[in-house]
Amino acid sequence: MDKVMDEKFNRLNLLLQGDEDLQHVNTQISTRMNAGKKVSAPGLQHGETKVRKTPKGRNMRTNEWTEWTQEEAIASSPDSPAWCSAQGIFPKNIDLASSYCPILALRNIPHKFCDDEARNKALAKFFETKTLFDRTWTLHYLSLPPGCRGRRLLLLVPLQEAYDYLKEVNTALSCDVAITEDKGEGFFLQFDDSNCPRPTLLGVSTSHKTMEGLVIDKSRRITGSWADWMSSYQPAVLKDLEAKIGDALYAEKNLGRKEKKGKKKRLNVLEYARAGAECMDRLQQYFGLRPTGAGIGRSISPVDVDSPAPWAYPDRPIIFSVDVEWKERNATHVTEIGISILDTQELRGLHPGLHGTKWMSKIRSHHLRVSEYRVHINKDFCSGCPNSFNYGKSEFIDSANLGKRIDDFFSPPYDGGSTDRSPESKKRDLIYLGHNTKQDLEQLAAAGSETFRKILFNGSEAIFEEMLDTASLYQGLRNDAQLTSLENMMAGLNTWTRDLHNGGNDARYTMVALIMIALEAAGEHEAAVAKESPPGSNI
């Protein structure tokens, strides 16, 4: 036992080496058994059972000692279940044998379970990437569906191993770090239900590099849609499994001290992915590429771009793609507004064509420019080109009339015409589209649009059936970790662009991207491969 403890103290010395301030930090944490070792007081004979008065709190000034009975000493042994219970590292109702811990969540222990700055600094040394991962871990995983921001694995370790590590930390620092039940949601996942599949063994890792290699290799081999992922589990356990995964992903998130008690819990990565998949499902319905009510769990045959969309969407909506440009040195001065319109009613009976080119021919694009700023061109943070609208003729409007002109597009007959507007025209369902939309919405309201002022005060549902964002849709489609700029998204879709940062052009490209994203999600690529490689071919 002494040899093991000496090794742990040597490891601690190496960890703190070179940090003089940290070596003298008084953590103010009550100690436990002085690293689990019996320490003889002066004047005691070898073998007498006297130890520091650590369980009840030692007087740090007088360094007093207390004598325990033999039963107390045995109960206080690190190998004793009673001692483990006293440690309180995990709640008592947690079964170590059937539970797992998301290993990435361990990095959050110092700031989540320790409020004292001095103790936090001491603890943090043990939870840095190199220290935490450069040891032996038995890695397991649960697969993740697409859209989880670049991830396809939830990485887990047996809770017993996490317990052992935390016990080492407590012993080394003579502290009592504990994962409490009120803050520990997601830090321990129990799989005591025989119906819920247990995590799959990934391998044994002895270093951060080894761990990364195992994760990358396995992630490359996990493919498929949300429907594929859902079909791999029994419906009865899927809800419980999603809850477990969601809690673990939330525990991994480094929320720091910004997380306030009572604050509404934010969406975790899996919930974002599900919301994104459901949004993609609705997008395909708008174009007739999926039947209504299909849900993300249903697989649909790949789309045939040489045939009209097979399903009709009730009350086919009108999609408005909007882009706003403003002075880079004065955000209150809107200079350009681009609006592209696609009426999905006009797509009825029309086949998409390769990458949606036939549907794109139905896009109508407009470019509004503010007369007062007609000579202004952004050049410091982006290369503006207000004179280079490629899809029609720019329209100049005084800033005082800009809000009214914007509103003309979002009322019947929804064609952007400023005259001959009939109040009897039938109202239609409207979809708003943008790329990273939040600031654009605020600028449209600030420009005087009553339509977008209603949205700011009453929510988007006051005007639009749905708000779509190609940045989020593309991120989910490609399972990217980060959002992508409009330029990089178009490049990723293999689409040529020119004169970006012109409001009219950007609105047009955003609509083009939406069509291509919908078709790719509906299986355009898979259908093309199937045509080139018919059944029985060797290709």
- What's the pLDDT score for residue 52? 36
- What's the pLDDT score for residue 514? 98
The 3 state secondary structure assigned to 328-355 is CCEEEEEEEEEEEEEEHHHHCCCCCCHH
Asked if the structure places residue 393 within a domain, the reply is: yes
Greater confidence (147 vs 33) lies with 147
Asked if the structure places residue 144 within a domain, the reply is: yes
Percentage with pLDDT > 70 across the chain: 76
Band of the pLDDT at 537, cuts 50, 70, 90? very low
Within this chain, do residues 80 and 116 fall inside the same structural domain, yes or no?
Answer: no
Within this chain, do residues 40 and 122 fall inside the same structural domain, yes or no?
Answer: no
By C-alpha distance, which of 187, 350, 148 is closest to 268? 148
- Find the mean pLDDT for residues 403-428: 79
- What's the pLDDT score for residue 90? 81
- What's the pLDDT score for residue 449? 94
- Find the mean pLDDT for residues 218-241: 86
Asked if the structure places residue 215 within a domain, the reply is: yes
Within this chain, do residues 340 and 457 fall inside the same structural domain, yes or no?
Answer: yes
- H or E element, residue 530: helix 524-532
In whole numbers, what is the pLDDT of the chain averaged over residues? Answer: 81
Question: Is 527 exposed, middle or buried (CB count within 10 Å of its CB: 0-12, 13-18, 19+)?
Answer: middle
Is the confidence at residue 72, as pLDDT, over 90? Answer: no
Q: Domain boundary at 65, 87, 109, which?
A: 87
> How far is the CA of 530 from the CAs of 160, 430, 453, 495, in angstroms?
48, 35, 49, 23
Residue 377 sits at φ, ψ, to 5 deg, of -135, 125
Q: Domain boundary at 57, 87, 117, which?
A: 87
Q: Domain boundary at 87, 115, 130, which?
A: 87
- H or E element, residue 280: helix 269-286
Within this chain, do residues 134 and 256 fall inside the same structural domain, yes or no?
Answer: yes
Greater confidence (10 vs 256) lies with 10
Side-chain half-sphere CA neighbours of 132 within 13 A = 19
Integer Cα distance of 475 and 420 in angstroms: 41
Band of the pLDDT at 62, cuts 50, 70, 90? very low
Integer Cα distance of 293 and 342 in angstroms: 23
- Find the mean pLDDT for residues 247-265: 65
Neighbours of 201 (CB within 10 A): 10
Percentage with pLDDT > 90 across the chain: 45
Is the confidence at residue 12, as pLDDT, over 90? Answer: no
- What's the pLDDT score for residue 371? 95
- What's the pLDDT score for residue 431? 96
How does pLDDT run across 194-215, given as a tens digit for each residue? Answer: 678 889 999 999 999 999 999 9
Query: Measured over all CA atoms, what is the biggest interatomic distance in the chain, rounded to whole angstroms?
Result: 106
How many angstroms from the chain centroid is the CA of residue 157? Answer: 21
- Find the mean pLDDT for residues 368-377: 92
Asked if the structure places residue 58 within a domain, the reply is: yes
- What's the pLDDT score for residue 533? 55
Asked if the structure places residue 275 within a domain, the reply is: no
Within this chain, do residues 381 and 428 fall inside the same structural domain, yes or no?
Answer: yes
Within this chain, do residues 233 and 351 fall inside the same structural domain, yes or no?
Answer: no
Of 281-285, 294-298, 418-422, minimum mean pLDDT range? 418-422
Within this chain, do residues 217 and 336 fall inside the same structural domain, yes or no?
Answer: no
Most confident among 64-68, 200-204, 533-537 (mean pLDDT): 200-204
Within this chain, do residues 39 and 135 fall inside the same structural domain, yes or no?
Answer: no
Is the confidence at residue 74, as pLDDT, over 70? Answer: no
| Number of structural domains found in the chain | 3
- CATH code at position 520: 3.30.420.10
Within this chain, do residues 124 and 262 fall inside the same structural domain, yes or no?
Answer: yes
Is the confidence at residue 435, as pLDDT, over 60? Answer: yes
- Residue 90 near residue 159 (C-beta atoms within 8 A): yes
Within this chain, do residues 309 and 197 fall inside the same structural domain, yes or no?
Answer: no
Asked if the structure places residue 283 within a domain, the reply is: no
Within this chain, do residues 474 and 387 fall inside the same structural domain, yes or no?
Answer: yes
Asked if the structure places residue 359 within a domain, the reply is: yes
How does pLDDT run across 117-170, given as a tens digit for each residue? Answer: 666 777 888 888 888 999 999 999 999 998 888 888 999 999 999 999 999 988
Residue 137 sits at φ, ψ, to 5 deg, of -130, 140
Band of the pLDDT at 469, cuts 50, 70, 90? very high
Greater confidence (297 vs 284) lies with 284
Within this chain, do residues 226 and 369 fall inside the same structural domain, yes or no?
Answer: no
Which residues form the domain of 405?
304-529
The SS3 call for residue 489 is helix
How does pLDDT run across 339-365, given as a tens digit for each residue? Answer: 999 999 999 999 999 999 999 999 999
Phi-psi category of residue 367: left, alpha or beta, with phi > 0 → left and psi -120 to 50 → alpha: beta
Band of the pLDDT at 96, cuts 50, 70, 90? confident
- What's the pLDDT score for residue 416? 79
Whether the upstream peptide bond of residue 55 has omega within 30° of 0, thus cis, is no
Most confident among 4-13, 172-181, 476-485, 512-521 (mean pLDDT): 512-521
- What's the pLDDT score for residue 473? 96
Greater confidence (457 vs 63) lies with 457
Asked if the structure places residue 8 within a domain, the reply is: no
- What's the pLDDT score for residue 58? 39
By C-alpha distance, which of 276, 320, 314 is closest to 296? 276
